Homo-oligomer: A and B are copies of this chain.
């Protein structure tokens, strides 16, 4: 099995892409922070189905972590990530250093309003500016035809769609369905932080959200089901609930009844680990 080629600079990335463009190949990009799991691999496959060439980027972006968050201990597993991708149709890994993405004197930040308001932003105020800035840089560096992001970070997906439209980047942004473990826990690189007891509790998040979504739809009740789900999460063993919210699926605006497409989203903590999940209502 041939190892996937890795490039670490934007110049090398563009040189490879330019060669492919010269042959008329379409380009797909899957931005990741590495520590790849089946959720990421499903994004790679969806991209390969649409584009002649698939690029995976691997970059743990310091700008989207607050000082008290897990930037330092976030798993960095480039060699095993590369092995995982060598079994796929991924053509190239772009794994830049922090200095390549944020060189000396770097001073820009992209703020996206709209879907970034509330939910994650209430608990991670600088998160989406960090995400938007790095994603804009990755999209501009590769200028793919298509880029895909997992729906597990649903609010992030909407923010990136808004960003891409606002900047006028000629790139289609796809969303990949959440890939789940056997008990329904959404796959996440942060699941590696969980001990066996916490892991068992974590598996209850998706079921509680699923039940709440079902009840919200059948009873057309939003606020009551949000409140009910919050209690259930605490009873199920989660240490705290940052939010559990039923929102308009397109804008994340607050809704009172489930008239249009809605989405239930939650962020919880178990031990020191913060987990998010969401699903259609």
**CB within 8 Å of B: which residues of A?**
10, 14, 103, 105-116, 132, 136-137, 140-141, 162-163, 165-170
Partner of A162, one of B105, B140, B170: B105
Separation in Å of the A72 CB from the closest CB of chain B? 25
Asked if B111 and A109 sit within 8 Å, CB to CB, the answer is yes
Interface contacts beyond A109-B113, A110-B111: sample of 6 additional A-B pairs, CB < 8 Å, sorted by A = A106-B166, A108-B110, A108-B111, A109-B111, A137-B166, A140-B169
Contact B140 A14 (CB under 8 A): no
A10 and B108 contacting across the interface, CB-CB below 8 Å: no
Set of chain B residues within 8 Å of A132, measured between Cβ atoms: 108
Count of chain copies: 2
Q: Give complex CA distance A163, B112 in Å.
A: 17
A103 contact set on B, CB distance < 8 A? 165
Contacts of A112 in B (CB 8 A): 107-108
Bound form: Cα–Cα A167–B165 in Å: 16
Q: Are A140 and B111 in contact (CB under 8 A)?
A: no
Interchain residue pairs A-B with the least CB separation, the first 4: A107-B114, A107-B113, A108-B166, A109-B111
> What is the distance, in angstroms, from A113's C-beta to the closest C-beta of chain B?
4
Bound complex: CA A115 to CA B108 (Å): 11
A168 near B111 (CB under 8 angstroms)? no
Contacts of A162 in B (CB 8 A): 105, 107-108
A10–B140 Cα distance when bound, in Å, is 17
A–B Cβ pairs within 8 angstroms, 20 of them: A10-B168, A103-B165, A105-B162, A106-B166, A107-B112, A107-B113, A107-B115, A107-B166, A108-B110, A108-B113, A108-B163, A108-B166, A108-B167, A109-B111, A109-B113, A110-B110, A137-B166, A140-B167, A140-B169, A141-B168
